[in-house]
Structure 1
Amino acid sequence: MFSSGVFLSGRIIAHLDMDAFYANAELVRNPALRGLPVAVGGRRGMQPLPGQQFPTLAQYEGRGVLTTANYEARALGLHSAMPTMKAAKLAPHAVLLPADFDWYKTLSRQFKTAVRELAPNVEDRGIDEIYIDLTGETGGDFEAAIELARHLKAAVTRATGGMTCSVGLSENKLTSKICSDLQKPNGLSVVRPDQFQEIIWPLPVGKINGVGPKAQEKLKAMGVNSIAELAAQPVDLLRERFGESYGLWMHESAHGIDRREVTLFSEPKSISRETTFENDMHVRRQRDNLTQVLEHLADKLSQDLARKQRLAKTIGVKVRFADFKSLTRDTTTGLTVRTADEVLQAARACLKKIPFEDKGARSTIRLLGIKASHLITPAEDALEKAAEESRRTKGQAQLFLDLEDAP
């Protein structure tokens, strides 16, 4: 067995997570929304009904899903990726706004710039979260790290016009990710090396990023509900029940082991989006719901491609069935993909290659994902197209010369 709370000695890693980022970004732009339940994911052009200040979920008709919801809306049961019509039944009077990703990206750049001015070793993990290696700035001293984290939080609030973030501090990324969620919103949580058992072990296993609803159900059937109970399981048993790599990862995570470094920059080899369902989805009976999720994932993936200024030559899909077995399929058409419609079309082509069933193990799925790979920049795409055009033109010219020389 590993000793609990194994860390890379001397490191201090922060995980900074913006609080309900998209929804709170709307509050910055329109303070009249403050205190109201707000969901993001409506159609552009929706107008409030007479006598109302904002459009509401009650007005929505369609097959979309929510992008996010603020904390007031979450208290009513709303959450990201929820079908909007279902959200309308739960909270018809909640405000529904369209997503404005240009505005969100502006605020994202502002908060990250503010952080880098105080602590430059930042790993970008998306539009609303980052890891920060504070080791150099603090000399490995947690008291200094706590003080610096307070300054970082204040800097983020100033840079974004009042938005808040939550920060977790520990000696590795996995534990800091758990920490940042413990006191949301506007929290600051710390786990020193000797506090892992005290603070982390009592938490539900679902607090470990990567242990989804179905894995939690399977662990519950084994009598495992807390991280402490997961840590007590023999690693061989976890490997047997969950597979070699995932079982070992669960064992190490429950003991606070995470050797990953903060990566300041890495050329993306692929970009993916996936979601794990709270309940298994039947591929035939719940086809409409799965279509909504697929469209949502394609939209998010296209936004990721745009943000990273990449085009994809290959699109793949991943499906995990109720028995935890996964299948992947991909397609490479020879054309580059960038828009949500292009991603969606390619993903649908991939799904047609998966042998779903009406009954049995391949009739219900617990996870659906889309991946873009073989990424290139727009400049590289232009060069490749120019080279191809040059080859085509030369080929036509050579054919003409060959015809001229023919007897």
Structure 2
Amino acid sequence: MSVPPSPAPLRRIAHLDMDAFFASVELLRYPQLQGLPVVIGGGRRQPDERPTASIPVAEFPRLREYVGRGVITTATYAARRFGVGSAMGMMKAAKLCPEAIMLPVDFDRYRHFSRLFKAEILKLAPVMEDRGVDEVYIDLSGLPGVQADGGLAQAKAIQAAIFTATGLTCSVGVAPNKLLAKMASEFQKPNGISLVFAEDVPTRIWPLPCRKINGIGPKTDQRLQALGIHTIAELAARDEAWLIARFGKSYGAWLHAAAHGRDDRPLVTESEPVSVSRETTFSNDLHVREDRAALAEAFTRLCERVAADLQRKGYVGRTIGIKIRYDNFRAVTRDHTVEEFTADAKTIRRLAGECLKRVPLDRRIRLLGVRVGTLAKRGGEGAPEAPAVLPGETLSLF
């Protein structure tokens, strides 16, 4: 008597997203701000020798006091209830929630907690794709009990381990693939767990607006709405050929697959950075001649920070570029590729200065950025053991 083959194991992918990560890390430092509207963005932390938890709430700066053009990095859930969110201008946010407490960013501290929570995940689930400072994908498929409960117990264990190690909460979505897992992680925020199975797509995914699919941006959504497509169900109802005719072969086919919850992308456990960049938005638009000293100082500092990032990560690059956004919000980029790899600040500044010669500088400058691409590991094939320094003096229009 033949034994029927065992069913193929379910693929169970988790998307883990830390809850209001930067703001939550700040609340560990300032527990007296728990439950209050708080925004994180811009500014510099003023030295204060008092224990952070002892600083009276009344002494923290309020958003109504802010003057400038900074952008909010993140906000607590209490602030989000007023319509305040990440990437919003702080002046606009001040109109929505003037009494929100304003804190400067502290990326070193956020990176520290990022390393802590990811280390806890790897203790329990060794297959993890790092997607940035506050989110990861995790393959739960082969872990004990996952085939029986869909990953619920493992997701709870990971949540608990992260909270014990960091005091922070996270939201987890578990689904057959990365596309659905990312959507599921938004279903029960904060500190929630959502399980989605393939058979749930019509009831839990199709009623959602198309913008909930990671990969459909505002412009595509506008085009879809113009075609009478508002929900994922309406997108799924369209033939693949119809979508290809209107959105192109590759993107049209992807839209059709995504609407049906199909995504076969593997987890990428090791990835190389494409480039390293730094940029700064000025509090006031700067003029090339009148503010030459300030621009030169900012330009040099950006190059030094990019060089430090490269050296810390063990990379060198040979494509150096700049980005400028003018006072009319138009942005331009230029880059230059050389034969020698480098991670040297002076060399980066010199080559970035050459790029500046190729852009018009007849308007005030709102934003300035420096980028190094075409990266290689230091000491790798074709890359030098130490940062190369190209001959020539530092040259810049600033």
TM bucket (normalised to shorter chain) is: 0.7 to 0.9
Matched, 1:265 2:267: no
Supply the distance in 2 between the matched residues of 1:29 and 1:50 (Cα, whole angstroms).
Answer: 13
Whether contact under 8 Å (1:312, 1:338) holds in the other structure is no
For 1:238, the aligned partner's letter is L
The 1:183–1:370 alpha-carbon spacing in structure 2 relative to 1, beyond 3 Å, is: farther
Deviation at 1:175, TM superposition (A): 0.5
Supply the distance in 1 between the matched residues of 2:160 and 2:42 (Cα, whole angstroms).
Answer: 31
Q: Please list the CA deviations of residues 361-391 of structure 1 after superposition, one character each: whole Å capped at 9, or x if unmatched.
A: xxxxxxxx997531234667763545978xx
What is the correspondence of 1:152-163 to structure 2 with a 5 Å cutoff?
152-161=158-167, 163=168
Alignment correspondent of 2:238: 233
Q: CA RMSD in A?
A: 4.0
Runs of 5+ consecutive residues of structure 2 not aligned to the other structure: 1-7, 49-54, 279-298, 324-331, 361-368, 393-398
1:383 aligns with one of 363, 385, 391: 385
Alignment correspondent of 2:284: none
SS at match of 2:59: coil
For 1:103, the aligned partner's letter is R
More helix by share: 1
For 1:212, the aligned partner's letter is G
Supply the distance in 2 between the matched residues of 1:352 and 1:66 (Cα, whole angstroms).
Answer: 32
Supply the distance in 2 between the matched residues of 1:225 and 1:350 (Cα, whole angstroms).
Answer: 44
SS at match of 2:15: strand
SS at match of 2:110: helix
SS at match of 1:257: coil
Deviation at 1:330, TM superposition (A): 4.2
Supply the distance in 1 between the matched residues of 2:260 and 2:27 (Cα, whole angstroms).
Answer: 40
Alignment correspondent of 1:59: 65
Q: Choose between structure 1 and 2 for higher RCO, CA contacts under 8 A separated by at least 6 residues.
A: 1
What is the correspondence of 1:168-317 to structure 2 with a 5 Å cutoff?
168-270=173-275, 308=313, 310-314=315-319
Q: TM-score, normalised by structure 1?
A: 0.71
SS at match of 2:143: helix
SS at match of 1:266: coil
Whether contact under 8 Å (1:47, 1:55) holds in the other structure is no
The 1:90–1:196 alpha-carbon spacing in structure 2 relative to 1, beyond 3 Å, is: same
Whether contact under 8 Å (2:146, 2:152) holds in the other structure is no
Deviation at 1:71, TM superposition (A): 1.1
Supply the distance in 1 between the matched residues of 2:30 and 2:140 (Cα, whole angstroms).
Answer: 34
Runs of 5+ consecutive residues of structure 1 not aligned to the other structure: 1-7, 274-294, 319-326, 355-368, 393-407
The 1:315–1:231 alpha-carbon spacing in structure 2 relative to 1, beyond 3 Å, is: farther
Whether contact under 8 Å (2:12, 2:176) holds in the other structure is yes
Supply the distance in 2 between the matched residues of 1:36 and 1:308 (Cα, whole angstroms).
Answer: 37
The 1:195–1:305 alpha-carbon spacing in structure 2 relative to 1, beyond 3 Å, is: farther
Alignment correspondent of 1:363: none
Percent same amino acid among aligned pairs? 47
Alignment correspondent of 2:118: 112
Alignment correspondent of 1:359: none
Alignment correspondent of 2:22: 22
Count of matched residue pairs: 335
Whether contact under 8 Å (1:42, 1:96) holds in the other structure is no
Alignment correspondent of 2:31: 31
The 1:180–1:309 alpha-carbon spacing in structure 2 relative to 1, beyond 3 Å, is: farther
Supply the distance in 1 between the matched residues of 2:192 and 2:344 (Cα, whole angstroms).
Answer: 37
For 1:58, the aligned partner's letter is R
Deviation at 1:190, TM superposition (A): 0.8
